[in-house]
């Protein structure tokens, strides 16, 4: 009989968001009259920017005609999109990234998981706690951890807690690590890293031959001009960082699917015999072997994000969600709740009133106010006692959610 991957047996419960979905579905079927408002998973609600829609329509029309029809595209993405990415996301910010260092994909969730394939099993991994659960679960699946303890922490991972006590600023690891996941603006806390903070990490990585896996999926939400949008704005990051970007939250692509990963040719790792080699050819090999590229209309849609109209429309979309976040923060503060994030990110991170356990608060919010959020403990042990509200929703729903929060907590 075939052998299954025993590492999957180490995974705690279900993946966070399906687990929330399961609880919400159960509640909805038992309470069919309840008008549930979902501020749980960060899923966009507003339509695609018109410039994106127009570009996708045109691309579909091209595919309808023999003379402009296209089959397989380049696995790494069409040059028109990769060039737009390089020019707008990197050159414009003074970052030296070449077009063939950009790999277009169907999502940062997949990329942050898949990247592990090009790293050896023996790497020690540092995780900020709380954290986007994909980083942890994919390392468990890859066999890079032991079992989980009571709090859900896996043996073998190096957890770096961030809480209100340390102002959500992670300390450098207290033992040698090889891979470090950083996500800024942060999911789930909504906090950002200053240039000095990021410099600290880049210097650490270079001094210790570590690699930073930098998830910048929420960079479009940065409002503070002093905050870097890319790790490559930090001198030396080209030697030690891989960056993940996504059109999902920026341009409403959660259902459309388009993202990209930047692997500079200067990022090196060691062979078993100790020889330094670039990771770029490995990722290129993996990508071209296992992926056939993002569809042409979607890549044209993504390219339109960088057009003058696209930029304006994306800005308006981002501002719309940021206003939701601001309204949520203001309302919670007026209720005496400690609130973080929500200024440079679409997530509001709150301490549960009275220090209630995260899942208990989740159940109470669902049953009393018919509101869905995400329990902080679902993002890691240090998230216990916290709760995340997503600002991705219509204004009407956010206002209604605020009214219900005031009734419940006021």
State which residue, 307 or 324, has the beta carbon closest to ligand MLT: 324
Cβ proximity to ligand MLT: between 131 and 160 the closer is: 131
**Nearest-approach distance from CB 43 to ligand MLT, in angstroms:** 6
Calpha distance 338→37 (Å, rounded)? 22
For ligand MLT, the closer of residues 109 and 300 by Cβ is 109
In the region spanning residues 237 to 256, those forming contacts with ligand MLT, defined by CB under 6 A, are: none
Which residue lies nearer to ligand MLT by CB, 41 or 99?
A: 41
Cβ-count burial 218-237 (b if 16+ within 10 Å, e if not): bbbbbeeeebbbbbbbbeeb
* C-alpha to C-alpha distance for 239 and 176, rounded to whole angstroms: 18
Q: How far is CA 410 from CA 292, 329, 331, in A?
A: 53, 15, 10
Q: Which stretch binds ligand MLT (CB under 6 A): 35-43, 77-85, 140-148, 221-229?
A: 35-43
Binds ligand MLT by CB under 6 A, chosen from 82, 109, 153, 229: 109
| C-beta of 42 vs 380, nearer to ligand MLT | 42
Q: Cβ 136 to ligand MLT, closest distance in Å?
A: 13
What residue number has its CB nearest to ligand MLT?
42
Q: How far is the CB of 197 from ligand MLT (least distance, A)?
A: 22
Contact 281, 295 (CB under 8 A): no
Q: How many chain residues interact with ligand MLT (CB under 6 A)?
A: 6
Interface pick for ligand MLT out of 76, 187, 352, 377 (rule CB under 6 A) = 187
Q: How far is the CB of 249 from ligand MLT (least distance, A)?
A: 7
Q: 106-138 b/e with 16+ CB inside 10 Å = b?
A: bbbbbbbbbbbebbeeebbbbbbbbbbbbbbbb
Shortest gap between Cβ of 381 and ligand MLT (angstroms)?
17
Q: Give least dist CB 41 to ligand MLT, A.
A: 4
To ligand MLT, the closest distance from the beta carbon of 131 in angstroms equals 10
CB of 96 to ligand MLT, least distance (A): 28
* Angle of CA points 127, 131, 137, to nearest 5°: 75
Residue 268: which residues within 8 A CB-CB, separation 6 or more?
239, 276, 277, 278, 279
Does position 130 bind ligand MLT by CB under 6 A? no
CA 44 to CA 371: how far, in whole Å? 17
Smaller CB distance to ligand MLT: residue 131 or 237? 131
Nearer to ligand MLT, 253 or 296 (CB): 253
Answer whether 123's CB lies under 8 Å from 179's CB.
yes
DSSP 193: -
Contacting range for ligand MLT; rule: CB under 6 A; set: 41-49, 146-154, 199-207, 289-297: 41-49
Q: How much of the chain is helix, strand and coil, in % rounded to 5?
A: 45, 15, 40
How many Å apart are CA 39 and CA 334, to the nearest integer? 19
Instruction: In angstroms, give the least distance from the CB of 139 to ligand MLT.
Output: 16
Tokens of 81: 């999109």
* Distance in Å from the first CA to the final CA of the chain: 59
- Backbone dihedral angles phi then psi of residue 128, each to the nearest 5 degrees: -75, 140
Which residue in 20, 38, 42, 256 binds ligand MLT (CB under 6 A)? 42
41 binds ligand MLT (CB under 6 A): yes
Look-up: residue for tokens 């503070």? 224
114 touches ligand MLT by CB under 6 A: no
Question: Closest CB to ligand MLT among 43 and 75?
Answer: 43
* Residue ranges binding ligand MLT (CB under 6 A): 41-43, 109, 132, 187
């Amino acid at each position: 009989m075939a052998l299954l991957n025993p590492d999957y047996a180490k995974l705690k419960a279900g993946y966070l968001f399906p687990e929330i979905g399961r609880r919400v579905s159960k509640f909805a079927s038992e309470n069919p009259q309840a008008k549930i408002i979902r501020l749980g998973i960060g899923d966009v609600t507003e339509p695609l920017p018109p410039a994106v829609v127009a570009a996708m329509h045109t691309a579909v029309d091209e595919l309808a005609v023999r003379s402009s029809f296209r089959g397989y595209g380049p696995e790494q993405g069409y040059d028109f999109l990769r060039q737009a990415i390089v020019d707008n996301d990197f050159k414009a910010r003074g970052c030296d990234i070449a077009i063939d260092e950009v790999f277009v994909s169907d999502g940062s969730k997949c990329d942050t998981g898949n990247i592990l394939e090009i790293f050896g099993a023996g790497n020690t991994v540092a995780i900020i706690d709380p954290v986007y659960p994909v980083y942890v679960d994919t390392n468990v699946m890859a066999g890079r951890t032991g079992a989980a303890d009571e709090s859900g922490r896996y043996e073998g991972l190096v957890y770096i807690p961030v809480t209100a006590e340390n102002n959500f600023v992670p300390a450098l690891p207290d033992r040698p690590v090889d891979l470090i996941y950083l996500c800024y603006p942060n999911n789930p806390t909504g906090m950002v890293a200053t240039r000095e903070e990021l410099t600290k990490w880049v210097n650490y990585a270079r001094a210790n031959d570590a690699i930073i896996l930098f998830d910048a999926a929420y960079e479009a939400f940065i409002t503070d001009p002093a905050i870097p949008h890319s790790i490559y704005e930090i001198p030396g990051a080209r030697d030690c960082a891989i960056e993940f970007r996504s059109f999902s939250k920026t341009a409403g692509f959660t259902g459309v699917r388009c993202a990209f990963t930047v692997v500079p040719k200067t990022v090196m790792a060691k062979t078993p015999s100790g020889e330094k080699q670039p990771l770029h050819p490995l990722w290129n090999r993996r990508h071209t072997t296992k992926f056939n590229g993002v569809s042409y209309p979607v890549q044209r849609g993504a390219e339109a994000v960088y057009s003058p109209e696209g930029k304006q429309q994306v800005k308006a979309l981002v501002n719309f969600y940021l206003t939701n976040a601001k309204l949520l923060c203001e309302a919670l503060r007026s209720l005496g709740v400690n609130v973080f994030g929500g200024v440079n990110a679409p997530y509001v991170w709150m301490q549960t009133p009275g220090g209630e356990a995260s899942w208990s608060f989740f159940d109470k919010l669902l049953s009393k106010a018919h509101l869905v959020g995400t329990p902080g403990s679902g993002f890691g042990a240090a998230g216990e006692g916290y709760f995340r509200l997503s600002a991705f929703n219509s204004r009407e729903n956010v206002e209604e959610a605020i009214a219900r929060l005031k009734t419940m907590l006021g």
